[in-house]
Amino acid sequence: MESILTTIKKQIGIDESDPFFDSQIIVGINMAISVLNQIGIGPLNGFMLINGAETWNDYIPDLETSPRFIHVQSYIYCQT
């Protein structure tokens, strides 16, 4: 499964091999994940991207199969 950072970079329009904005993008992703965590989406103990290698499956294991989480990727993209 693709990393969260790679997915968001593609949606933003940044080449996945370009690391220049990674730290800023990771901050945006982590803020969106924090908001989702506050409304009960994601692991109970929270979740945070550390190095950008974290995958969607690491964040929410049933993200692709559960209708409850269908808009999580879109929300994180829009907030980032």
From residue 24, how far is each of 28, 36, 60, 71 by CA, in Å? 6, 19, 22, 22
- What is the model's pTM? 0.93
Residues 22, 32: Cα–Cα separation, whole Å: 15
pLDDT of residue 37: 96
Task: State the Cα–Cα distance between residues 57 and 59, nearest whole angstrom.
Answer: 5
Residue 73's identity, in one-letter code, is Q
Give residue-wise pLDDT tens across range 15-64. Answer: 999 999 999 999 999 999 999 999 999 999 999 999 999 999 999 998 88
Residues in the chain: 80
Query: What is the model's pLDDT at position 75?
Result: 96
